[in-house]
């Protein structure tokens, strides 16, 4: 089974908080490159990382990662 990338709105949430990729990465304990990969759809974060990203951006998991086109 091929893994699908999860669409996300992380970049929008990060920009709304006036955070650079490096600043967000530091807050959640990953590298700047990881943030770039997540934003670009090249990496699916773990649930724990998704929760840290949601807290750091002040968004819910649904706001960041839910694909509203699917039930």
Nearest by Cα to 30 from 5, 16, 61, 51: 51
Convert the pLDDT of each residue in 29-71 to its tens digit.
999 999 999 999 999 999 999 999 999 999 999 999 886 665 4
Cα radius of gyration (the chain): 12
The answer to whether residues 32 and 57 touch, using CB atoms and an 8 Å cutoff, is no
Structure tokens at 56: 């750091």
Better pLDDT: 8 or 20:
20
- Output the average pLDDT for the chain: 90
User: What CATH class does 10-60 carry?
Assistant: mainly alpha
Question: What is the average per-residue pLDDT within 3-29?
Answer: 91
Dist CA 26 CA 34 (whole Å): 11
Whole-number pLDDT of residue 4 = 62
């Amino acid at each position: 089974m091929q893994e699908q990338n999860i669409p996300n709105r992380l970049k929008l949430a990060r920009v709304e908080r006036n955070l650079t990729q490096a600043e967000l990465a530091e807050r959640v304990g990953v590298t700047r490159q990881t943030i770039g990969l997540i934003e670009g759809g090249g990496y699916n974060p773990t649930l724990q990382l998704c929760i840290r990203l949601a807290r750091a951006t002040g968004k819910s998991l649904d706001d960041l990662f839910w694909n509203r086109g699917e039930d």
